[in-house]
Amino acid sequence: RGLAIANGLATGLSEDPYVMVLAAIDECVRNLVCVGADPQRIALLDNFCWPSCNDSRRMGELVRAAEAAYDGALAYRAPFISGKDSLNNQFTAGDGTTIEIPPTLLISGMGVVPDVSRCVTMDAKSAGNHLVIVGKIGSRLDGSHYEMLFGPAEDRQVPVTDLERGPLIARRVHAAIAEDLVASAHDCSDGGLLVAAAEMAMAGGLGLDLETVEPASCFSEEPSRYLLEVAPTKLRSVRAHLDGVPSVVLGSFNDSGRLTIRPPGSEPWTGRTMPTALILTAPGINCDRELGHAFELAGATAEPVHLNQLLREPALIDRFDLIGLPGGFSYGDAVGAGRIAAALIRQRLYPAFVSAIERGVPIIAPCNGFQIAVQVGLLPGPDPGAAWPPSPPRPVVALAPNASARFVDRWCGIEIPPETRCIWTQGIEVDGERAVLPVAHGEGRFLAGADDGLDRLARTGLVAVRYRAGDNPNGSAGDVAGICDASGLVLGLMPHPERFTRWTQHPRWTRLDGSWLSSDPLGLAMFRNAVAHVGEPTGAAPPR
């Protein structure tokens, strides 16, 4: 025998402490049941963290929470055996403003596992097994974080735990697990069905094809729901144990490594090849994965290729539709930022990169990649009509140490010149707090060598990104944050657009006006521009 330990927390529902506490108890019970604990042998603990208990409203909320704990303990037959409280969690600032924590009750639970050698884990085990949801599927964003934060108050559907259905479902799921009918189990809570299903597939290194899911139900956070992996030969027996509670086969696990959603009645995915991005890797480069992820969010696939492999086979570049030169510290920046990587590329790969640009391949080079692209001669680029095969031009711009002589790591305001010819930033309209990108560099001060170099870059539309006036982190001339080549395909910039592809990455995302959700974050918009410019893939993607 063993002891399973879990917890439940639902502070997103704190507008009604009664609903919040029941949801936390239900989540704790589900976590215990999913590993094989007997729901008839569970004990609970409470941890109250509450603000301003001298305030009558806050005290009333605390009473509601205690009533929910009482009702939940009776319904689930799970006694509270201990707990603690931390009350009056608030702070009064010097101006008299009082800052309060949200009313919070953490539920912890312990359950007896009859045989620890038969515990069930949440990682998917085998391709071909079905994914079954037990409990209400939901057809709205019921209880989702989005619904609670941004949905109109009058339309919110707060998920209330059913104190009869919740314990019943827990017992039925436990019975199926106890009979070795379930290969893996996971509670469906924060983020909803799609998050839980993805976690199961990723943990098992498998793909998942969801075939009977309405899009809105992917994010519903209804309580009392479980995801079970069931072998086809055991599905009938599992359904017999689940008699009387809703259950639906959502799809099947596979070996694809991808999660695919096909709403009811849709055509099967045809497997059309997406544009493929080459992500250059080399010793010291450490932003390759996030750069590849940004391409994938924008609708492309990403393939890491080591610089040594490209040096041996320059023709590999011809297979790709997009190229990314990531940030980091290539070769340790041992003799200067980007110099070793740039020297290798100038010597062996420059014609292949120029050929890719002539073929219409967009190239992005953030931070250390920008330093490399400048020293290679890709930016501002060769003179139009240069002889073929081309020779790397002499660099006419540079990225010098920051004027502060310090490494800078922060978010900066960004402006996009309307006259730019850069396909990555063209047409993007952002302003205010949304027009920001993170920077992290020690050598990012942009300098143009010739007397009129900076004016010429601006006049010909080669300035792609500027720092907002007064927010220049490194002393760059003309507030230049990034430039493009004459084709508009090659973008080099010191900020990291690949680090702003989700609104939750914004440093103040919880305080932005909800209208920002209708547009893409600035970084993702850049990658979408490039993928849209490519359209149908032009190269033959290398095998994954």
- Calpha distance 358→521 (Å, rounded): 29
**241, 172 in Cβ contact below 8 A?**
yes
Half-sphere exposure of residue 28, counting CA atoms within 13 Å on the CB side? 30
- Calpha distance 345→341 (Å, rounded): 6
Question: What is the residue type of 288?
Answer: D
Please say if 367 is a catalytic residue: yes
Count of beta carbons in the 10 Å neighbourhood of residue 335: 10
Give strand pairing partners of 42.
111
Please say if 498 is a catalytic residue: yes
DSSP 485-510: -TTS-EEEESS-GGG-SSGGGSTTGG
- Calpha distance 347→362 (Å, rounded): 22
Q: Which long-range contacts (CB under 8 A, 24 or more apart) does 308-315 make?
A: 308/282, 310/280, 310/349, 310/352, 311/344, 311/348, 311/349, 314/348, 314/349, 314/351, 314/352, 315/352
Give strand pairing partners of 412.
437
Cα 331 to its chain centre, rounded Å, is 29
Catalytic residue, from 367, 412, 422, 484: name it. 367
**41, 112 in Cβ contact below 8 A?**
yes
- Calpha distance 416→487 (Å, rounded): 17
End-to-end Cα, the chain, rounded Å? 45
Catalytic residue, from 174, 496, 506, 533: name it. 496
Please say if 496 is a catalytic residue: yes
Catalytic residue, from 443, 498, 506, 533: name it. 498
DSSP state of 450: S
Active-site residue numbers?
A: 367, 496, 498
